[in-house]
Amino acid sequence: MVQGIAAVVREPGGDWVMEEMEVEAPRADEVLVRNVASGICHTDVAVRNQDVKLPLSMVLGHEGSGIVEAVGSAVTQVKVGDHVVLSGDSCGHCRPCHEGLPSYCDDFVQRNLSGERMDGTSPLSQNGVALPGRFNGQSSFATYSLVPVRTAIKIEKELPLELMGPLGCGLTTGVGTVINALKPPAGSSIAVFGVGTVGLSAIMGARLCGCACIIAVDVKPARLDMALELGATHCIDASNTNVVKEIHTITKRGADFSVECSGVPIAVRNAVDCLARPGWSAQVGATPGGIEIPFSMDHMGFGRGIKGVVLGDAATQTFVPYLAGLYKDGRLPYDKFVKYYDFDDINQAVHDSAVTGEVIKPILKMP
Ligand SMILES: [Zn+2]
Ligand SMILES: [Zn+2]
């Protein structure tokens, strides 16, 4: 058992508070990771605000990166001292796992959203009382994470470890949705709605695929400027224009593909209405719970469709190192929109990204 520090929220919308915790020794198939850094993702803030109703006391954070400190007796994939990026957990033996789609694992909810292992225990505690500690398999707003081995993905030691955590969620989601789920042919057109971390990653993915027309849609001018810098060919400020009409004007026949990252219902509808014949839209943004959105079947009937995508339809064990390689080659320059904060400044980092929106991807550096 080791002692660590975790950032914990005790009331809906409240501040994160630093608390001491105890971390168990690894079980046979587990890995103890000393976290070096963790990105903050929109989902962490959504749980803090209880827009996503998961246990509030759960240690959040799911873009961790760190160094392996101890491994269980059955672990062969990583060893002490390895650098790892943490991603979501999966069982490894159900049908989606075998088909390389671990984000649709039969056990996804229990393994990633309950805060517990499959047997109902948590690897974290405070004075003998369990502290839920398996958010997305990792709970990385903490100095240590005790994770299932499938969650820890080894990366090369030359890479800047403190930058790598967002590869485990935001980058995998955005890039993967384009190159794994939509597979746009070179020369095609794509519209990306909402250009935070995931949307900007989708734009970089579209560029990697050779899309000829890449349209960024957002309401924040600074984010649209960043989209242009990363490969968008056009941008649309959705706050003052008819987005669907504008996309038809740019593309002449509608967008071949779209990616919706905001979860705003009107944007979901626009992402489908802007499609060409045929055309596919990927829905990535978390919409408000229980919502239903109407679509015109006259429009959908002409070869159009919408597909929900989690974690970029990626086989994370191979996809995360693939993205790390693209970063190393200068083809995924997401460091342009990262800002680092000390772990203690987590509340400031959330304010700057989720409240004012001036920072796109905050990364916490652990002491
Ligand atoms: Zn995330
Ligand atoms: Zn599975």
CA of 194 to the centre of ligand 2 (A): 30
Per-residue pLDDT tens over the stretch 1-50: 999 999 999 999 999 999 999 999 999 999 999 999 999 999 999 999 99
pLDDT band at 325, cuts 50/70/90? very high
The percent of residues in the chain predicted with pLDDT above 90, rounded, is 96
What's the mean pLDDT in 203-218? 98
DSSP 8-state code for residue 219 = S
Q: Is the pLDDT of residue 51 over 90?
A: no
CA distance 76 to 69: 14
**Cβ atoms of 145 and 139 closer than 8 Å:** yes
Q: Is the pLDDT of residue 289 over 90?
A: no
Q: Is the pLDDT of residue 151 over 90?
A: yes
Per-residue pLDDT tens over the stretch 251-285: 999 999 999 999 999 999 999 999 999 999 999 99
What's the mean pLDDT in 146-153? 97
CA of 41 to the centre of ligand 1 (A): 5
**Cβ atoms of 200 and 230 closer than 8 Å:** yes
Is the link from the previous residue into 148 a cis peptide, with omega within 30 of 0?
no
pLDDT band at 240, cuts 50/70/90? confident
Per-residue pLDDT tens over the stretch 60-105: 999 999 999 999 999 999 999 999 999 999 999 999 999 999 999 9
CA of 172 to the centre of ligand 1 (A): 9
pLDDT band at 287, cuts 50/70/90? confident
Q: Which of 357, 337, 341, 358 is nearest to 349 (CA)?
A: 341
CA of 128 to the centre of ligand 1 (A): 30
Instruction: Please give the pLDDT value at position 290.
Output: 84
Per-residue pLDDT tens over the stretch 160-208: 999 999 999 999 999 999 999 999 999 999 999 999 999 999 999 999 9
CA of 101 to the centre of ligand 2 (A): 8
C-alpha distances in Å from residue 83, one per residue of 47, 158, 207, 274, 286: 28, 10, 29, 43, 30
Considering the domain delimited by 2-168+333-365, tell me its CATH architecture.
Alpha-Beta Complex (3.90)
CA of 305 to the centre of ligand 1 (A): 25
Same fold, 2-168+333-365 and 173-310: no
Instruction: Please give the pLDDT value at position 9.
Output: 96
Q: Which ligand is nearest to the CA of 286?
A: 1
The full set of domain ranges for the chain reads 2-168+333-365, 173-310
Average pLDDT, the chain: 96
Residue 132 is encoded by which pair of tokens? 């839920």
Instruction: Please give the pLDDT value at position 90.
Output: 97
β pairing state of 152-155 and 144-148: unpaired
Q: At what angle do helices 265-273 and 243-251 cross, to 10 degrees?
A: 30
CA of 360 to the centre of ligand 2 (A): 32
CA of 168 to the centre of ligand 2 (A): 18
**Cβ atoms of 167 and 85 closer than 8 Å:** yes
pTM of the predicted model as reported, rounded to 2 decimal places: 0.96
CA distance 65 to 14: 25
Cβ neighbours of residue 145 under 8 Å, at least 6 residues apart? Answer: 32, 33, 35, 64, 66, 86, 133, 138, 139
Instruction: Return the ∠ at Cα 356 (arms to 350 and 358), rounded to 5°.
Output: 90
CA of 89 to the centre of ligand 2 (A): 9
CA distance 258 to 250: 14
CATH of 173-310, one of 3.40.50.720, 3.30.2130.30, 3.40.50.2300, 3.40.50.10490: 3.40.50.720
Q: Is the pLDDT of residue 52 over 90?
A: no
CA of 202 to the centre of ligand 1 (A): 14
